[in-house]
Structure 1
């Protein structure tokens, strides 16, 4: 059913990344764009990773045109469920390099990594 709604399957495969790998690779010269698909409230109040772009899952289909399809994208949410759905949407839309951050912000915070609060 998902295929019927969103079209054919792309040739790209979903990749996975731990929060430790994300911490090591993320920064101003990161080789990917980090997308946070949580709600604006979660992003601002619960905290987010500096430099992450807020694109809530319910708006992703309308906003994915803001992202170049040929550039790597890493996707994070609270625990990994919404980011997995977002990754599937991106892959089906033709994005070539999509990575799901395993464990999401829960794992990031649990590892003691820094978060920013209050910004949207």
Structure 2
């Protein structure tokens, strides 16, 4: 499985397709700007919503769920890359995070 660090992902700049597989409630609390939420709990039903034909980067809270989603996408023929450490590592390394109002 292909993986990337949060710092290497940030170096790619904005515009790369990042799919966040955390649940809707988790995503609503905090998210990386520009990501798209496709919760792992409904991932199999929503794979058609994921852009094909280009590399997609898969994120979760710390890397476990994104690993499973990346494996499923790779098996389905997508060029998918797991983001190591997820949003937790992204935040720890000082990259931007959007928080729900009131938090």
TM above 0.5, yes or no, is yes
Higher normalized strand content (fraction of residues): 2
1:24 aligns with 2:48: no
Provide the rounded CA distance (Å) in 2 between the counterparts of 1:36 and 1:70: 18
Provide the rounded CA distance (Å) in 2 between the counterparts of 1:68 and 1:116: 23
Indicate the larger mover: 75-84 or 65-74.
65-74
Gap regions ≥5 residues in structure 2: none
User: Max radius of gyration: which structure?
Assistant: 1
Provide the rounded CA distance (Å) in 2 between the counterparts of 1:117 and 1:40: 13
Cα distance change, pair 110–55 in 1 and its aligned pair in 2 (3 A): same
TM-score, normalised to structure 2, is 0.90
1:15 aligns with 2:9: no
Cα deviation, residue 118, structure 1 = 2.4
RMSD: 1.4
1:79 aligns with 2:62: yes
Gap regions ≥5 residues in structure 1: 1-13
Q: Secondary structure at the match of 2:87?
A: helix
Cα distance change, pair 26–63 in 1 and its aligned pair in 2 (3 A): farther
Q: Would you identify which runs of 4 or more consecutive aligned residues in structure 1 move more than 4 Å?
A: none
Q: Secondary structure at the match of 1:69?
A: coil
The answer (yes or no) to whether the contact 1:19–1:104 under 8 Å persists in 2 is yes
TM-score, normalised to structure 1, is 0.78
Q: Number of aligned residue pairs: give it.
A: 101
